[in-house]
Structure 1
């Protein structure tokens, strides 16, 4: 990744194709909060939630799985990009007392970004991010997934040895 990635970023399709052609091993990131958000959950909770959502006939958009034990659900944005004064910042997805990020559900929205699969995670250990459901699936409203995802995260937290820090909020 270029150290100047924020100034080099673009939505120009031709430039993105040139980069992909000239640097086929490069990772790409996508900024969240303008067109799409990403609901990021522990892998075990995400797999359980994805099965429940699909079995219930709920529309699910693109989903990625990461070797750092996370599952990413790509959704429509919850923010209102046309009104710059009203948007949902990622900082709301943390413990309100300490502002520490919680390891349960993370809502990547305005001010955040995620790797676009297929991608390699930092380091030399071969970990990656890959599609489970590809980008051909249309983005859905995040609120249609939220109840099942938070329920799965709460169940996941209960199964962890230190469930008080495994996810927030929990059902206790």
Structure 2
């Protein structure tokens, strides 16, 4: 079967199955987002966002309504109905409820992840975003804790490329295909990582890795 933006039948089935599984197995709230469509007037192989904006900053990766927070659901039947209605929707997971997300550059994230595994730290799911970012899932409340924790580690919060996504934000979940590429799991959700770590348990290796990347960039 041809796997194109315009006729991704296999992908749409995966989107539905994944969205339902996130709600049913993880009890995450799930939100249908925008999707990619063929651009008849554009270069071959390129696609545009379903929102219709030629200047869309996040093609196929944003909510479709201003009241998106009220549209999200953790009910598997409700999620199934939403994707049956629009099967190409991207999968968005609102943050700030059942989890927050720590978003770091891919190189720093891989370095931190390897260090966490050597230290046998508790880890939740980790996503690899197509814009070369790694996203670590942690318990909600990280947005409040991180600035003070970074100061204790000797960092001014605005110096590191470390973003915290909490209430009023979202992350794009696999197997969504965005204008930058496909979202994938670096560490998939399993029964072993059902219980998320507190951000305090992971922040030191993440800050260290981001600090190394900052020092390397300044030395270039």
Fold shared by both chains (TM-score > 0.5) = yes
Structure 1 segment 62-141 matched on structure 2, within 5 A: 62-78=125-141, 88=144, 104-121=161-178, 123=179, 127-136=181-190, 137-138=193-194, 139-141=196-198
RMSD: 2.7
Hey, what's the Cα distance between the residues in 2 that align with 1:51 and 1:119? 25
| 1:10 partnered with 2:73 | yes
Shift of 1:7: 4.0
| 1:58 partnered with 2:121 | yes
Structure 1 alignment gaps of length 5 or more: 80-86, 93-100, 164-172
- Count of residue pairs brought into register by the alignment: 145
Structure having greater relative contact order (Cα 8 Å, sep ≥ 6): 1
Structure 2 alignment gaps of length 5 or more: 1-33, 35-63, 149-157
Deviations 1:83-141 (A, max 9, x none): xxxx839999xxxxxxxx877100111221111222122x3x5x121111112122111
Provide closer, same or farther for how the CA distance between residues 21 and 149 of structure 1 changes in structure 2, counting only shifts above 3 A: same
Deviations 1:6-47 (A, max 9, x none): 442222221112334554432111111121000000000000
Provide closer, same or farther for how the CA distance between residues 147 and 68 of structure 1 changes in structure 2, counting only shifts above 3 A: same
Deviations 1:51-106 (A, max 9, x none): 00001111111000011011000111126xxxxxxx839999xxxxxxxx877100
Which has a greater percent of helix?
2
- Give TM-score scaled by structure 1 length: 0.73
Q: Which structure: larger Rg?
A: 2
Shift of 1:159: 1.5
Provide closer, same or farther for how the CA distance between residues 22 and 117 of structure 1 changes in structure 2, counting only shifts above 3 A: same
Provide closer, same or farther for how the CA distance between residues 102 and 130 of structure 1 changes in structure 2, counting only shifts above 3 A: farther
149-158 or 17-26, larger mean C-alpha shift = 17-26
